[in-house]
Structure 1
Amino acid sequence: MLTVVLALASSAFAQSTVQHRNPYLGWSTFSQQTIDSSFLTQSNVSAESDALAASGLEAHGFQYINIDSGWMGSFDGYGRPIPDTTTFPDIQALIAHIHANGQKVGIYWIPGVEYPAVAANSPILGTQYHIQDILTVPYTAGNAFGGSGTSPYHYKIDFSKPGAQEYMNSVVALFASWGVDLIKLDGVTPGSDSYGLSIDNRDDVAAWSKAIAASGRPIWLTISWALDEDYLSVWQEYANARRIDQDVECEGDCSKLTNWPRIYERFRDLPGWESAAGFEVGWNDLDSLELLNGSADGLTREEKRSALNLWVLANAPITLGGDLRSIDTFGKELLSNDEVLAVDQSGSPAKQVLDGDLEVWVSDLGHGDYNVGIFNMNATVVRAQIPWSLLGFGQATDVRDVWLHRELGSVPGGFSTVLAGHGSRLLRVHGIGKPASAPSTNYEAENATLSGSASVAECNACSGGEKVGNLGLGAANTVTFENVTVPRSGEYLMEVDSMTIGLRSFLYNVNGGSFQTLNCSGGSFEIPASTTVPVYLKKGVNTISFGNPPSYPPDLDRIVIRGNGDFPAPSTTSYEAEVATLNGSASAVFSNYSSGLAKAGNLGGGAGNTVTFEQVTVPSDGTYQLEIDYQTSGLRSFFMSVNGAAATELDLNGDTFSDPTPTVVPVTLHAGTNTIEFGNASGYAPDLDRIVVAPRLGHP
């Protein structure tokens, strides 16, 4: 049985009234609501609570049942939200039932005051004031959903006015009287679609926190969504957790609950927030995990395990989506592994030490112990080789497979494993000794060669106090480091310190070679996030250029080159379609969830409308794995030609042009440079995000 750590909160802890200091585990209605608009009812929530009790997952720490957006019907005589009595005829009875099942209850609300309560101008409980007395004048939107102008639907509260905090106290007191244990406060800004300071809910978050303290009930406070990291100190002081990203659900963009690109977004988000979480400052919330309902979740088994591995390494709250009444055997297997769940409760959030097609995340537990996650970000099968020096020690005296509860013994030098597509390993490692020292050299972006629109801007948190922005959206808008010098040819590590809000991507090249991709995300244009990728450099002077010809890259602070040229070289190579040779109507198109933040569209429908990869390079003749990441809604076909040979038809299916879907096929290539062309002379082809070439391996 998982032992969930409980402790009295210190005065420095984020939301001081809460006794549960560790990330919570539970389930929320919202994911199922995105595919069933009639799902949110008292009877369904009661049935889900019963299903959680019957599943056995409570014994593994899953306690919370969260009632998300849509439960409210009107306002009471004091302007406080009350349930829709058609769908929730007796919410106190529902909450009592959930508590009787040994569970806790969460409820959803938003900052500000909705129009009906404003129009009623209700008195504020226990005061001489009314709702309109506490509003910001002129009227303005109270949250990210609040509309615009002087007559918004959600009205901003001015917490400098008497009665404002008392109103908030009365709302939380009502929730507390029902028995609520968690509040999800949504639409919080700055954040939630990057409203900046035009809508600012920092005072609201503080007021909710104070109201929870005044209620005398221990209530967890989670704030949502895609919070602005520039105001991290506020989020840490007043909330137990903060959502650092958008919704994980497709919400109509695909036919399932979610998909791998939405999970991959969390890998991109976390590096900018990885140092922001802990017992004293709250947790990074990655949103729901879709693990319960087989193919309806939209993830393969390997993808589900990898998603859970990332969540637990991040020490994120685990909020399950889907329908607990139809949980499958594999979902129950994932969620009842106490050794895995203990990683989530360790109080030591992981940090990313390697990015790219192979990612490595490490939690330093102290005393030489580490939790280690190794992730294959491609759909091809790969062999991963991870030197222990990457983790900061020389040798591993003990390695344990956390999922299998299996001791692997002493593993000198490093760890090697074969990973399935989007697969991962979760290890517990005891390391000793220090690795041999390796040189490192910093290169500031503002001192590099700037071309086109690229320009220097102040950045207080940046190395050297400056950064380079206005990159991309044109092949000439670049920053180029022209004097990257190393003593020998080989594979080095390149740390890239960059800043962005939301998804962005660098396309970079080394010594004029093929573009390589670094997909990023973040919550600030002022706070650098560090990611590290392997890069091959020749002996002597090298040039490395950063931009993104068809799309948006982050701002760039600096790069750091580390190592002795002996890091294991990646076995896979990726090629972006948007910067391949586009012919006829084929064109580079912005695509938010695509690698590189763009794809090649308008393919097919004529013999000349093609995309050709002209520099596909492999070391020897043979058959390789070719991953093709495509986008289509319904059936479409590629005709693929390799080195001018007769084309092979690839019939592909998909449910969205928004998010890429991978397929992996064998392809015969010769040593050196190859060309691979995609098109469809007589019919429409899918859009094409990228291809990945990898050696052919047996499945793990």
Structure 2
Amino acid sequence: MNKNNFAPLPPMGWNSYDYYDTTVTEDAVKANADYMAAHLKEFGWEYIVVDIEWYAIGAGSMRNQFQYIPFADVAMDEFSRLQPDPARFPSSADGTGFTHLADYIHSLGLKFGIHIMRGIPRTAAHNHCKIKGSNVTADMVANPSSICGWNPDMYGVRDTEAGQAYYDSLMELYASWGVDFIKCDDICNTNIYPANPYSARHEIEMLAKAIARCGRPIVLSLSPGPALIEHAWHYETYANMWRITDDFWDKWDLLKDMFHRCELWQNHVAKGCYPDCDMLPLGWLGKGFGHEWYTNFTPEEQHTMLTLWCLFGSPLMLGCELTKLDDATLALLTNRDVLSMLTPDCKPHQVCLDDEKAIWCAYNAVTDEHFAAFFNLSDETQTIHCDIETLHVDDEPCAHKDASLTELWSKEKTSVSGSAISVTPPAHGCLVFRVEN
């Protein structure tokens, strides 16, 4: 398992991608941070993450043709390290990078994160730029046969002493800015290479080593997925969280499929190590993609998503425009009872899964709390029956005869009837209970 203690709980926060794509600005980041500090922080939400291409000049200006403009100009320092685009992040114009924005986020009692692409800028390699702490230039560190299939900005980094010096200098810079969280992309699954989809494993190790040397606790998140279960030990050793899915959006088939992914990874959730179900596509989304829309998830599906993420132990990252959050979504995100399941102390177990239903239970040995969740995966309201003998985590039974049940969304109380539980969740919805034996 990861030896650091940077993420004792699954990280909770906001990421700019689902709403802004590549177009987020400093003012927008501050506005979302202000909202989080005022309305969400007390419930555990604390990270503000600037997602992809904050360094790209003119990002988003050709969105009808390209998500990522091919070989666009980038802001970069003399040591091959990308810098914020000063047009979108004006406080960086003095050469201090994200320092002023990070200071602002920290002043609100929040934490600051950034997205990076694996590797070294292609333009640095083409121009033989310097690497801090090394006499070797970027062209000698870059591996031109290691690229990202969907983003044109970077080359992979060779597993050499100079390559490590580059990553060390990068983490040194981010630490000086006050970065608390890094989402590194094109590294969890390098799926452009089907014969070697884990071709960047050495770069994960180099990143982890550089973070350990930088003197600042920086949470390391790996994207995109799906993560490779056969390399679970490697993710757990070197990262704090890793994506178990490709980009997750507000489509029922993607949410339904997540039950299979969570089943695969349920035994790999531990303190500091979190399989990541990806962002929560709630509220208003998509403005940077060319059209703004309100989430397609129904209220029932939203309950299902948040219940599964919390019960499973996934990090929670919002992608919406927080300043447009409606009361119903805010209530969803501030349900203390549901959020109380989001701890590695709460061990989850999927009891059953078929095309019509899923049943999960969980046990928190620290608080001696038991939970049971019943998910209706069908398109009609249905009654789900469950023998209480099947509800257990390892050897710990989760329910006994005549146990009382409190539903965590509605707060309604019921009890076990004999040796079984029968509940009737709505279509695509769920009921999740705290069990008091």
TM range, smaller chain: 0.7 to 0.9
TM-score (norm 2): 0.85
Aligned to 2:341: 343
Secondary structure of 1:419's match?
Answer: coil
Secondary structure of 1:279's match?
Answer: coil
Where is the helix percentage greater, Structure 1 or Structure 2? 2
CA shift in 2, pair 1:396/1:370, >3 Å: farther
Aligned to 1:25: 12
Distance 1:277 1:196 in 2: 28
CA shift in 2, pair 1:25/1:292, >3 Å: same
- Alignment-mate amino acid for residue 31 of structure 1: D
Secondary structure of 1:82's match?
Answer: coil
Q: Within the alignment, does 1:273 sit opposite 2:273 as a pair?
A: no
Secondary structure of 1:288's match?
Answer: coil
Aligned to 2:90: 89
| Offset of residue 369 of structure 1 | 4.3
Task: Report 1:637-656 matches (<5 A).
Answer: none
- Alignment-mate amino acid for residue 25 of structure 2: T
Distance 1:107 1:162 in 2: 25
| Offset of residue 245 of structure 1 | 0.3
| Offset of residue 202 of structure 1 | 0.6
CA shift in 2, pair 1:26/1:228, >3 Å: same
| Offset of residue 193 of structure 1 | 6.0
CA shift in 2, pair 1:142/1:421, >3 Å: same
Gaps of 5+ in 1: 1-12, 148-152, 250-257, 432-700
Aligned to 1:53: 37
CA shift in 2, pair 1:398/1:97, >3 Å: same
Task: Report 1:114-513 matches (<5 A).
Answer: 114-136=121-143, 139-145=144-150, 154-159=154-159, 161-192=160-191, 195-197=194-196, 200-225=199-224, 226-249=226-249, 258-279=250-271, 282-293=273-284, 296-356=294-354, 357-366=356-365, 369-392=369-392, 393=397, 395=401, 397-409=403-415, 411-430=417-436
Aligned to 1:66: 49
| Offset of residue 345 of structure 1 | 2.1
| Offset of residue 209 of structure 1 | 0.7
Distance 1:193 1:143 in 2: 7
CA shift in 2, pair 1:325/1:146, >3 Å: closer
CA shift in 2, pair 1:419/1:406, >3 Å: closer
Distance 1:193 1:235 in 2: 19
Aligned to 1:620: none
- Greater relative contact order (Cα < 8 A, sep 6+): 2
Residues 594-619 of structure 1, C-alpha deviations (whole Å, 9 max, x = no match): xxxxxxxxxxxxxxxxxxxxxxxxxx
Where is the strand percentage greater, Structure 1 or Structure 2? 1
Secondary structure of 1:105's match?
Answer: strand
Aligned-pair identity (%):
25
Distance 1:99 1:239 in 2: 23
- Alignment-mate amino acid for residue 273 of structure 1: W
CA contact (8 A) 1:29 1:66 kept: yes
CA shift in 2, pair 1:384/1:319, >3 Å: same
Secondary structure of 1:290's match?
Answer: coil
Distance 1:15 1:265 in 2: 31
Secondary structure of 1:51's match?
Answer: helix
TM-score (norm 1): 0.54
Secondary structure of 1:214's match?
Answer: helix
Secondary structure of 1:62's match?
Answer: coil
Distance 2:408 2:331 in 1: 14
- Alignment-mate amino acid for residue 162 of structure 1: E
| Offset of residue 418 of structure 1 | 1.5
CA contact (8 A) 1:292 1:332 kept: no
| Offset of residue 207 of structure 1 | 0.7
CA shift in 2, pair 1:329/1:314, >3 Å: same
Aligned to 2:2: 14
CA contact (8 A) 2:271 2:344 kept: no
| Offset of residue 191 of structure 1 | 4.8
CA shift in 2, pair 1:231/1:292, >3 Å: same
Secondary structure of 1:125's match?
Answer: coil
Gaps of 5+ in 2: 57-74, 92-97, 286-292
| Offset of residue 212 of structure 1 | 0.7
CA shift in 2, pair 1:329/1:193, >3 Å: farther
| Offset of residue 311 of structure 1 | 0.5
User: How many residue pairs are counted as aligned between the two chains?
Assistant: 397
- Alignment-mate amino acid for residue 426 of structure 1: V
CA shift in 2, pair 1:348/1:142, >3 Å: farther
CA shift in 2, pair 1:196/1:341, >3 Å: farther
- Alignment-mate amino acid for residue 400 of structure 1: T
Secondary structure of 1:380's match?
Answer: coil
| Offset of residue 145 of structure 1 | 4.1
Residues 21-48 of structure 1, C-alpha deviations (whole Å, 9 max, x = no match): 11011111011025xx64x111111111
Distance 2:41 2:322 in 1: 12
Residues 393-444 of structure 1, C-alpha deviations (whole Å, 9 max, x = no match): 453533222224454345431111221111101112246xxxxxxxxxxxxx
CA contact (8 A) 1:112 1:143 kept: no
Distance 1:208 1:176 in 2: 13
| Offset of residue 348 of structure 1 | 2.5
Residues 234-262 of structure 1, C-alpha deviations (whole Å, 9 max, x = no match): 1110000110001112xxxxxxxx22222
Residues 359-412 of structure 1, C-alpha deviations (whole Å, 9 max, x = no match): 101113349742211000122111111111221445353322222445434543
CA contact (8 A) 2:122 2:155 kept: yes
Secondary structure of 1:370's match?
Answer: strand
Secondary structure of 2:341's match?
Answer: helix
Secondary structure of 1:53's match?
Answer: helix
CA contact (8 A) 2:105 2:112 kept: yes
Aligned to 1:637: none
Secondary structure of 1:195's match?
Answer: coil
